[in-house]
Structure 1
Amino acid sequence: MYTAKGRLDNSALIRQYSGLVRRLAHQMIAKLPANVELDDLIQVGLIGLTDALSRFDVAQGVQFETFATQRIRGAMLDELRGGDWMSRGTRRQQRSIETAVHKLEQRLGRAPHESEIAAEMGLSLGDYQDMLSKVRGTQLVYLEDMSGDEGSDDYLDRHVVDESNNPMAQLQDHRMREALVAAIKNLPEREQYVMSMYYEHDMNLKEIAAVLKVTESRVCQLHSQAIARLRVKLRDW
């Protein structure tokens, strides 16, 4: 696309390839923590697209879409690598909850109650619920899960890739989904309701609280606890 003066019409090209940015953002966010915002990825991706337009040289013999895809994904990955979605202190609290849940599940052979988890951690029920509110568990996977406490690019490089042509990756993803569905079915009933309303029906905390007749803070606690239970179940994935 060219302007009347014979120059590339960047505005028209950005409009034309904005769908590519959105598609790449959706592919990437599917394997990222739930609190990473899609709109943020799209905005960064558009910056990457603009950069691609300024750097593209047809003489290189590469199609623009291929070149742009690399630039867009690169911009998104740079943004993700520079982000810190949850403080280390909060992550330690999340892991301490998971450790207690895991020990109790092994000992009891069932999903432990809140009071049991609190006792295992040496906390009062109120203090444990306060911790759940602070943790606000929104992530099934953290970067450090794959690389240690300091984190690295390894998780992103291994997981945030285009695996559409990788049969083994597709099989693993299918198995992961099956394992997640099974793990959710084994959650305590109220936590199942929270996960279903939040993720399947796109209800916000206020709406879920109204249905369950509890406070929004309580919904947040139930959500955090459900995430901790699921992360214990899905550690091997």
Structure 2
Amino acid sequence: MIEHKQPHLSNMELWRQWKEDGILQAKKNLIEQYLPLVEFVTNRLAIGLPKNVSKDDLYSHGIMGLIDAIEKFDYRRGLQFETYASWRIRGSIIDGLRQGDWVPRSIREKAKRIEDAYQKLEQKYMRSVTDKEMSEYLEVSETEFNQMIQDIAVTSVCSIDDPIREEESETRLSLLIDDKAKNPEYKVNKFFLKETLAKAIERLTEKERTVVSLFYFDDLSLSEIAEVMSLSPSRISQLHSKAILRLRGSLNRFKVQLFVDQ
């Protein structure tokens, strides 16, 4: 995915110097070494964003996320820093986007309306609902529904990284849980969150599952997925948006259940 200047194991001395001796030069070297990771995450998140969103701004937010990751990472646990840092970088960029409020309120309201519709209908029918059923529920034509999906496509790349609860920083897909933690309630919630997400993915259409898999697990861009699936980039964008809205609906039900049980 990304080539670094040195293999992962060769970084151990830098990590030791920074974490145990507090040598700032070691921290600086780590930041410089992992800057390509910031560029990679920035390029992925920039897909589909409006032209008025500066990639330089995204990159700056990403660097702050990288620094935060380097400050909080525990190298002694033997975990892969790239995985941990990617979510920190992504979260920092998304926080920056939220602060800039780059998405019009009308688009946010439209996305929320569709998300709620997916949540209610799929809970009612216990299956993936069709565009026709969604259109009838929303009282719009299928053409209008597809246009609504297209309009909110620019918001869905980030939506899967929304926090599980608004006041917390843990994201729906991060799940980078400290296995040494002894809080049983947290582990139970983690288990049911994974189970809920797995079931939600199973309810996606075959094409939607393919897009989600290629984008989030195989690190392909939307344009690359379009080539693989022999579809237009706009169609891939629509499939991605629908998948994310379905997943958000399912995960929101999980969030509501958490509050009910507490």
TM class by smaller structure? 0.5 to 0.7
Tell me which residue corresponds to 1:131: 148
Query: Are the structure 2 counterparts of residues 126 and 140 from structure 1 closer, same or farther at C-alpha, using a change threshold of 3 Å?
Result: same
Equivalent position amino acid for 2:119 in 1: H
Tell me which residue corresponds to 1:205: 222
Identity among equivalent pairs (%): 27
Give 3-state SS (helix, strand or coil) of 1:234's partner.
helix
1:229 CA drift (Å): 0.8
More displaced 10-residue stretch of structure 1: 120-129 or 107-116 = 107-116
Equivalent position amino acid for 1:15 in 2: K
1:178 CA drift (Å): 3.1
Instruction: Verify the 8 A CA contact 2:31 2:67 in the aligned structure 1.
Output: no
Tell me which residue corresponds to 2:168: 155
* 1:182 correspondence with 2:175: no
The correspondence of residues 93-104 of structure 1 with structure 2, limited to 5 A, is 93-104=110-121
Tell me which residue corresponds to 1:68: none
The whole-number CA distance in structure 1 between the counterparts of 2:248 and 2:112 is 9
Query: Are the structure 2 counterparts of residues 192 and 9 from structure 1 closer, same or farther at C-alpha, using a change threshold of 3 Å?
Result: closer
Tell me which residue corresponds to 2:241: 224
- Larger Cα-atom Rg: 1
1:21 CA drift (Å): 8.4
Q: How large is the RMSD of aligned CA atoms in angstroms?
A: 4.2
Structure 2 unaligned residues grouped into runs of 5+ = 1-21, 47-54, 72-87, 256-262
Give 3-state SS (helix, strand or coil) of 1:82's partner.
helix
Query: Are the structure 2 counterparts of residues 17 and 198 from structure 1 closer, same or farther at C-alpha, using a change threshold of 3 Å?
Result: closer
Equivalent position amino acid for 2:141 in 1: S
Instruction: Verify the 8 A CA contact 2:127 2:203 in the aligned structure 1.
Output: no
User: What TM-score, normalized to structure 1?
Assistant: 0.62
Query: Are the structure 2 counterparts of residues 213 and 92 from structure 1 closer, same or farther at C-alpha, using a change threshold of 3 Å?
Result: same
Equivalent position amino acid for 1:91 in 2: R
Give 3-state SS (helix, strand or coil) of 2:231's partner.
coil
Query: Are the structure 2 counterparts of residues 173 and 86 from structure 1 closer, same or farther at C-alpha, using a change threshold of 3 Å?
Result: farther
The whole-number CA distance in structure 2 between the counterparts of 1:141 and 1:45 is 14
Tell me which residue corresponds to 2:64: 44
1:221 CA drift (Å): 0.6
The whole-number CA distance in structure 1 between the counterparts of 2:168 and 2:97 is 11
Query: Are the structure 2 counterparts of residues 225 and 46 from structure 1 closer, same or farther at C-alpha, using a change threshold of 3 Å?
Result: closer
Tell me which residue corresponds to 1:108: 125
User: What TM-score, normalized to structure 2?
Assistant: 0.57
Tell me which residue corresponds to 1:140: 160
Equivalent position amino acid for 1:140 in 2: I
Which stretches of structure 1, 4 residues or longer, exceed 4 Å deviation after superposition? 19-22, 34-42, 45-49, 76-81
Query: Are the structure 2 counterparts of residues 85 and 167 from structure 1 closer, same or farther at C-alpha, using a change threshold of 3 Å?
Result: farther
The whole-number CA distance in structure 2 between the counterparts of 1:40 and 1:173 is 31
* 1:15 correspondence with 2:28: yes
Query: Are the structure 2 counterparts of residues 48 and 110 from structure 1 closer, same or farther at C-alpha, using a change threshold of 3 Å?
Result: closer
Instruction: Verify the 8 A CA contact 1:21 1:45 in the aligned structure 2.
Output: no
Q: Deviations over 1:188-229 (max 9, x none)?
A: 111111111111211222222223222111111111111111
The whole-number CA distance in structure 2 between the counterparts of 1:190 and 1:102 is 20
The number of residue pairs the alignment matches comes to 190
Equivalent position amino acid for 1:43 in 2: I
The whole-number CA distance in structure 2 between the counterparts of 1:108 and 1:163 is 33
1:110 CA drift (Å): 2.2
Structure 1 unaligned residues grouped into runs of 5+ = 1-7, 53-71, 148-153
Q: Deviations over 1:12-35 (max 9, x none)?
A: 34434528988xx9xxx9xxxx94
Instruction: Verify the 8 A CA contact 2:110 2:148 in the aligned structure 1.
Output: yes
